[in-house]
Each structure stands twice: as C-alpha cells, then as structure tokens.
Amino acid sequence: MPELPEVETVVREIRPALVGRRIRAVAASGHALRRPWSAAWHAPLTGRRVREVYRRGKWIVVGLDDKAALVLHLGMTGQLTVAAASDPAADHTHLTFALDDGRHLRFRDVRRFGGATLYPGPDELERFFAESKLGPEPFDLDAAYLHGRLAATGRCLKAVLLDQRVVAGVGNIYADESLFEARLSPTQPGRDTGLRSAARLRRAVVKVLRRAIDRRGSSIRDYVGGNGQPGGFQNEFRVYGRTGEPCRCCRTPIARVRLAGRSTHYCPVCQAV
C-alpha cells in the first residue's frame, strides 16, 4: 500500500503525538510478521522516551532517548496509528505500544508483509540502511544521477522507478502516475533515455509525490494516515487503476500491462515509446 506520500503522512500525523512520550508497555499479537518481531524487545522499549520520528524512503524510524531506534515498514496493508487506549483495537493489530498519556501507538497489518525491528543503537541503524543500499530521497534526486542509473540498465523505466536502490519511496501507484506526468512509456528501456527525458522524469516524480502528500496519500483499500483518516489522492489518479477508461488528455483507453511483476497503467498515445 503505502508509498512515500502515505508514509510521510503517517509520520507527520503520529509525530506530534509521540515525541516526548514515554512507552509504558509493549504487547504483540504473536502472529508471525514478515520481519520477525522479538518479545525480547519489550523490556528495552519499556520506559523509553520518544526523541524523534522520521521517514526514510518507505521506512519509519522512531528514535528513542537511549539512541535505540524502532524501524517500521508498512508493507502492503500496514497501518500505524495513535488512538485513545479506550478506542477498541481492530482485528490484525499486531503491535501495541502503550504511552504515558493513556494513548496507544498501534501497528495493524492484515497481510503481515510489514513489520518492525528494534536497533539497539545508531551503528546498527546505520548498518541496516547501508546494507539496504537505499537510493536518494526523490526530492534530493539529481537529473544527471538518474540519467546515469538509467543509462546503465536495460530494464524498463517502470522497473527502475520501483527499485528502491535507485530512488527511495516510489511504489506502483506513483511510478505509473509519474511516468504519465513525464509522458514517458513504462516499457522504455532505461538505456534509451536521454538526459532531457531523465530530467523530465525527475521533475514528474517530485511533482506527483508533492501533490499526493498534499492530499495525505492515496486510499484504495487499507491505507489510513496516522490519525486513522483515509487520504484523497486516489481521486486524482491519471492512469493508476483506470484500465479501459479514457485518458484525461487524449481520450484513448488506458492500457494495462504487467511489468516487473506489477500491474502497470499507461496511455499508449500520450506515453508512446
């Protein structure tokens, strides 16, 4: 589900509720998550105060006062919300962090592709991000860098945008929307992309992501922000999920193909190779 705009929205909305709060207790559902949660982390988390909350790509980092860091990923259906303890927890709530103000930070994930890990210190956190080889944030993306990465591969543009090592945070929705915005074909081989097209793609990614953040992300099925409310960018999709519907620009039916194992939506006329 959640790509950069959704994760950014969650972080912005949980941050004011978390920073400065102390964790009083931790509880886990016991269901196996894709990133295994360890009950051994409950003790070191208990009593810690939240120092900061930030996003890197699609990862959420909750920094604690002892320099440990709780790192969460929402996978496809993950939700991270802060709610009153009296507010009943929905099914599939896997982690509950009771705070010192009576509220709960809850991680809910129907498909359990997400999860959380506790890194005991900054070195371990740094090593985790280094080993993941996460690319730059889209807002720091440089056209020459992107052009270089594209020139080095025969993979199609869609596959390159989904590669978190090239640029961090873009997922299936925003890859399709960005390629439409840039008027580039998702099937075009990376190495056929000139510097001007790479620069156009960079601008498109930034524009689409910023607009999606303004709308608090896209809610199709499961996604909600940190306050439990859905986003609104799904009402502004140009191609994603619009298979067979007329292109908003030229009325040609939006096509759907499978690329890099993912459904890919594009206008065959506006985005001709």
Q: Which is nearer to DNA, 156 or 205 (CB)?
A: 156
Nearest distance, CB of residue 131 and DNA, angstroms: 9
**90 vs 250 by CB, closer to DNA:** 90
67 is catalytic: no
Outline where DSSP puts E strands in the chain: 23-28, 50-56, 59-64, 69-73, 78-84, 93-99, 103-109, 115-119, 255-259, 262-266
Catalytic residue among 2, 5, 138, 186: 2
Nearest distance from C-beta of residue 243 to DNA, angstroms: 9
Q: How many CA atoms lie within 13 A of 172 on its CB side?
A: 17
Residues 6+ away with beta carbon under 8 Å from 9: 213, 216, 217, 225, 226, 231
| CB closer to DNA out of 99 and 267 | 267
3, 6, 8, 181: the catalytic one is: 3
Least Å from the CB of residue 76 to DNA? 5
Residue 137 Ramachandran class (φ > 0 left, ψ -120 to 50 alpha, else beta)? beta
Q: Which is nearer to DNA, 23 or 60 (CB)?
A: 60
Among residues 263, 117, 138, which one has the least CA distance to residue 203? 138
User: What proportions of the chain, in percent to the nearest 5, are helix, strand and coil?
Assistant: 35, 25, 40
Let me know if 58 is a catalytic residue.
Answer: yes
- Give me the residues that bind DNA (CB under 7 A), please: 1-3, 6, 32, 34, 57-58, 73, 75-77, 91-92, 110-113, 132, 152-156, 159, 162, 164, 171-173, 218-223, 260-263
Q: Given 55, 58, 103, 202, which residue is catalytic? A: 58
Closest CA to 54 of 168, 161, 166, 145: 168
Are 155 and 190 in contact, with CB atoms under 8 Å apart? yes
Closest approach of DNA to the CB of residue 47, in Å: 29
Residue type present at position 21: R
Residue 109 pairs in a beta bridge with: 78
Please confirm, yes or no, whether 111 is among the known catalytic residues.
no
Catalytic hit among 21, 200, 211, 262: 262
DSSP 3-state of 67:
coil
Sign of the alpha-carbon dihedral angle for 186, 189, 191, 196:
negative
Question: Least CB distance from residue 185 to DNA, whole Å?
Answer: 15
Assess whether 3 carries a catalytic annotation: yes
Interatomic CA distance for residues 96 and 262, integer angstroms? 32
CB of 216 to DNA, least distance (A): 11
Query: Nearer Cβ to DNA, position 104 or 242?
Result: 242
- CB nearer DNA, residue 14 or residue 173: 173
Q: What is the set of active-site residues?
A: 2-3, 58, 262
